[in-house]
Amino acid sequence: MAQLLSISDAADRVMAALVSGLEIEFGRQAGAALAERFLDAEEADFLWDARVEERWLGCYFGGGESEIELDRVRILARIDGGWFVAVMLVDGDGDAHGMLGKRSFGRAEQARRAFADA
């Protein structure tokens, strides 16, 4: 019998596994704090991987002469119980290269409305 997990359930499990692994390595008090630092340092990648929905906004014409062509993609994501709407910079292979902006929401309905309205 196959078990289906939603993307947001998977994101919560990844966060729980990260905290658990850090607690084993560095102690119970340090696990959650270190996980937050990991999230801050790699926020764009975590949000991109935790996306529930995405919508292409167009090409990104940044200030530099980058050799990589990037697109702007709006995402709806869920990490650690929180909901986020962000605009990401994504390459043609589907890899995130940065984030242009992010809004946080406590409830899914608020985030979905912001995702749809923006």
Report the range out of 32-36, 39-43, 88-92 with the highest average pLDDT: 88-92
Whether 45 is covered by a domain: the verdict is yes
Scanning the chain, the segments in alpha helix (DSSP H) are: 7-26, 28-41, 43-49, 108-117
> Count of CB atoms within 10 A of residue 72's CB?
16
Whether 87 is covered by a domain: the verdict is yes
Whether 2 is covered by a domain: the verdict is no
What integer pLDDT is reported at residue 22 of this predicted model? 81
Query: How many domains would you assign to the chain?
Result: 1
Give the domain extent around 63: 7-117
Q: What is the mean pLDDT of residues 35-57?
A: 85
Alpha-carbon dihedral of residues 97, 100, 101, 107, nearest 10 degrees?
A: -40
- Please give the model's pTM, rounded to 2 decimal places: 0.71
Contacts of 16 (CB under 8 A, 6+ apart): none
Whether 36 is covered by a domain: the verdict is yes
Q: Are strands 96-105 and 82-91 parallel, antiparallel or unpaired?
A: antiparallel
What integer pLDDT is reported at residue 2 of this predicted model? 40
Please count the residues of the chain: 118
